[in-house]
Amino acid sequence: MASWRSLKKLTAEKSRSRRVERKTRTKSAHQNSESSHIIGQALDLKRWKWRRGLCEERKEEAE
């Protein structure tokens, strides 16, 4: 079994490489908030359409 120090070293190297990857892919805070806002709007629209669809089905059943 690997020693505690070697495990610690491995995880440190992994996190370091992850940080480098993240740095190249990160967006500015403004871009992040803007994209999350757009995603929120899309989800709201999806929910609204879904509710509307369900309501329309219910109306047909009631007739």
Share of the chain above pLDDT 70, in %: 49
Tell me how many domains the chain contains. Answer: 1
* pTM over the 0.75 mark: no
Which residues of the chain are modeled with pLDDT < 50?
Answer: none
Structural domain boundaries, residue 51: 4-62
Q: DSSP letter string over 4-52?
A: HHHHHHHHHHHHHHHHHHHHHH---HHHHHHHHHHHHHHHHHHHHHHHH
